[in-house]
Structure 1
Amino acid sequence: MHKLSSWLMLSFIIAGAVFAAPVHAEQSKRLGPWEVHYNAFNSTLLRPEMARQYQLERSNTTATLNIVVLAAEKPGKPAQQVSIKGYVMNPLSMQTPLDFREVVEGDAVYYLAQTSFTNLETLRFFITISKGDEIQELRFSEELWRN
């Protein structure tokens, strides 16, 4: 199985298995020429070896954000390399910049960032994705809690 598919499937399965309420673990939006898949979850759900491999912190108060950008009109094509930046806003409207790392493994390209949160906190994510003249905004909210 493709490493990107494995990573996406693992993160979406983990997130889906943890939620007691019916929630769509895989989230995606069509933004211009792209299909953007995204997921934010408590970093304690990462296996220790995966956290080490990607140099990610595992903590009850750290969320991991995973974003993959695919060409919407070309199913089955490799993920897109893009420029990505953004910030997260807590319920008090305090903004924290997100430091994205691009991970490339063969045809797989994904972007990882981490941010802190308090228990039962809904974070709002504001992400700008660009490539050439194309600029799109991804906005979503995620409620996070300690495990």
Structure 2
Amino acid sequence: MRRLAVFLLSLCLAAPLFAADAARPERKQAFGDVTVFYNAFASSMLQPQVAADTGLTRSKQLGVLTVAVLKADKPGMAVVSGTVKDLTGRSSPLSFRQTSSQGAISYVAQFKVEQAQRMVFDLDIETGGVSHSLSFNQDVFPGE
């Protein structure tokens, strides 16, 4: 009975995180004329050549977070920083680097994925001297 009570309490505490993810299924957030697109996935999903071209490591235990910024509907430069944490509260800093291809600019960071779980990402995006904060959660699965 005690285990059931602990389980139900855990679900209640995690419910706002699940709801936040459903609120933005399109994986973008607008801040006036700045739109930030983001997504997280297992790095093993990358084609080997894409991983090599972007300097990313393909691994079953690594995820990739991509962030792209449009300002007035054009690719924009930004400074992106942030953290990722699991539902136990363990937090790790994200180290972003800029990549570009065919005029598109994106920022990528890798993070550990030890098991299938919901991860919480807290990002700060600075563009044009203005800082924007973005928080989202996403289910991430280790690669195969």
Question: Which position in structure 2 is the counterpart of 1:43?
Answer: 43
Question: Which position in structure 2 is the counterpart of 1:11?
Answer: none
Distance 1:80 1:41 in 2: 23
Question: Which position in structure 1 is the counterpart of 2:139?
Answer: 143
- Partners of 1:123 and 1:143 within 8 A in 2: yes
- Superposition misfits of 4+ residues, deviation over 2 angstroms: 104-107
Distance 1:26 1:39 in 2: 10
User: Shift of the alpha carbon at 1:145?
Assistant: 1.4
The one-letter code sitting in structure 2 at the alignment partner of 1:140 is F
Distance 1:126 1:47 in 2: 27
Question: Which position in structure 2 is the counterpart of 1:107?
Answer: 103
Instruction: Report Cα offsets for 1:101-146 as digits up to 9, x if no partner.
Output: 0113352111000000122211100010012431101111111112
SS in 2 for 1:57: coil
Distance 1:44 1:26 in 2: 23
User: Shift of the alpha carbon at 1:25?
Assistant: 7.4
**Corresponding pairs, count:** 120
Question: Which position in structure 2 is the counterpart of 1:90?
Answer: 86
Instruction: Report Cα offsets for 1:3-35 as digits up to 9, x if no partner.
Output: xxxxxxxxxxxxxxxxxxxxx975111123311
SS in 2 for 1:49: helix
Question: Which position in structure 2 is the counterpart of 1:67?
Answer: 67
Query: How do residues 6-17 of structure 1 correspond to structure 2 at under 5 angstroms?
Result: none
Q: Which runs of 5+ in 2 are unaligned?
A: 1-23
TM-score (norm 2): 0.76
Distance 1:81 1:33 in 2: 14
Identity level (%): 28
* Residues 1:55 and 1:25: Cα distance change in structure 2 (over 3 Å): farther
- Partners of 1:26 and 1:39 within 8 A in 2: no
TM-score (norm 1): 0.75
User: Shift of the alpha carbon at 1:53?
Assistant: 1.1
SS in 2 for 1:93: coil
Question: Which position in structure 1 is the counterpart of 2:56?
Answer: 56
Distance 2:29 2:106 in 1: 16
